[in-house]
């Protein structure tokens, strides 16, 4: 699909996507835009509608309103042609407990009408290798640890070369080492040019590997864009540490900084175009003894918390 003016080349695009279960709105008017080649971090607290959105992208759940395009094809109409190029991990691993890891992958491979039967063993072997499960392939799934189960689900998503990977909470239940391995895997897939949509309720787990972020809260997308853009949109605060806080505050006000506050240790304000060097010069010229000077930019974590609220409350 050639990129057009209003829709740059997007791997996933939804417009006005909405879904309610039993009268309760779970996803509301969602406009998702995942550019091709992006590693898109899909963030939101538990219960914010991420999984339902992902289920709609995969044609598992029907939308009440709005449209979905995945790799240029409408969903659910085009699901059968486009889903072979989409690998997915949805809401945790799901495998037959009394089958071995390998037999579970064989089952999925045999059901794939577009897969070449001759290459089955090679495909499965390569996928198991990639997630480090080759030596445990003959074990029954029920004997797997949580981390191994998660890896097997990722192996299933990587059975055939994909253009898009949808990974719903892939780090759930993993120890720090496992989380790091998943991140490395996602980064390497991103480097290969695979578009990755990775959801999490923990920003810190995926922040490093993402080029784009979308933040959901109570069914709505509250922020979306390139990570640098989201970071740049954050307001920076200038902080002066001094023995004469009042004098410093007066200087900052005179220079035109907004929201100037004065505390026991100094003063702070939000610059409205003033360069740090000029602020320091003005302070010194007014005889304010500057013990420390800095700018603070809130982290993405702060933004995330600000947009989604804090605490353990599950919205809905």
Report the interface residues with other proteins, using CB under 8 A: 21, 55, 58-62, 79-80, 83-84, 86, 88, 90-99, 103, 106-108, 110-113, 117, 153, 156
CA distance 212 to 124: 31
- Cβ closer to other proteins: 93 or 269? 93
- Cβ closer to other proteins: 95 or 304? 95
Q: How far is the CB of 138 from other proteins (least distance, A)?
A: 14
What's the Cα-to-Cα distance from 85 to each of 58, 61, 159, 311, 314, rounded to whole Å?
A: 11, 19, 10, 38, 34
- Cβ closer to other proteins: 106 or 265? 106
**DSSP for 92-123?**
S----TTSBHHHHHHHHHHH-TTS-GGGHHHH
- Cβ closer to other proteins: 98 or 276? 98
Q: How far is the CB of 66 from other proteins (least distance, A)?
A: 15
Q: How far is the CB of 168 from other proteins (least distance, A)?
A: 10
- Cβ closer to other proteins: 78 or 125? 78
- ∠ CA 150-153-156, rounded to 5°: 155
Categorise residue 210: left if φ over 0, alpha if ψ from -120 to 50, beta otherwise.
beta
CA distance 56 to 50: 10
Categorise residue 267: left if φ over 0, alpha if ψ from -120 to 50, beta otherwise.
beta
**Which of 9, 39, 6, 22 lies closest to 205, judged by CA?**
39
Contacts for 122 with CB less than 8 Å, ≥ 6 apart? none
Q: How far is the CB of 60 from other proteins (least distance, A)?
A: 4
Q: How far is the CB of 111 from other proteins (least distance, A)?
A: 5
Q: How far is the CB of 169 from other proteins (least distance, A)?
A: 14
CA distance 300 to 230: 8
Q: How far is the CB of 251 from other proteins (least distance, A)?
A: 60
**Which of 28, 7, 8, 9 lies closest to 18, judged by CA?**
28
- Cβ closer to other proteins: 40 or 141? 141
- Cβ closer to other proteins: 143 or 272? 143
């Amino acid at each position: 699909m050639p990129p057009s003016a209003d829709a740059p080349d997007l791997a996933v695009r939804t417009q006005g996507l909405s879904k309610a279960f039993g009268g309760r709105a779970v996803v509301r008017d969602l406009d998702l835009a995942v550019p091709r080649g992006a590693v898109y971090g899909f963030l939101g607290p538990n219960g914010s509608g991420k999984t339902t959105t992902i289920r709609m992208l995969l044609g598992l759940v029907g939308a009440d309103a709005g449209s979905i395009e995945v790799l240029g094809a409408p969903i659910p109409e085009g699901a059968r042609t486009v889903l072979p190029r989409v690998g997915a991990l949805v809401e945790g691993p799901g495998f037959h407990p009394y089958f071995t890891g390998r037999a579970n992958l064989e089952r999925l491979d045999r059901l794939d009408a577009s897969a070449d039967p001759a290459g089955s063993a090679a495909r499965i072997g390569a996928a198991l290798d990639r997630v480090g499960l080759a030596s445990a392939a003959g074990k029954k799934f029920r004997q797997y640890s949580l981390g191994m189960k998660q890896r097997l689900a990722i192996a299933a998503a990587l059975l055939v070369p994909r253009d898009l990977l949808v990974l719903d909470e892939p780090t759930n239940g993993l120890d720090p080492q496992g989380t790091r391995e998943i991140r490395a895997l996602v980064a390497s897939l991103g480097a290969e040019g695979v578009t990755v949509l990775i959801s999490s309720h923990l920003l810190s787990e995926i922040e490093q590997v993402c080029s784009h972020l979308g933040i959901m809260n109570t069914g709505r997308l509250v922020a979306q864009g390139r990570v640098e853009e989201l970071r740049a949109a954050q307001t920076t605060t200038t902080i002066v540490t001094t023995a004469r806080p009042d004098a410093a505050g007066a200087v900052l006000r005179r220079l035109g900084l907004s929201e100037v506050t004065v505390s026991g240790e100094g003063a702070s304000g939000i610059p409205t175009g003033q360069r740090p060097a000029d602020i320091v010069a003005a302070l010194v010229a007014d005889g304010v003894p500057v013990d420390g000077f800095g700018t603070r930019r809130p982290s993405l974590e702060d933004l995330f918390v600000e947009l989604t609220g804090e605490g353990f409350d599950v919205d809905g």
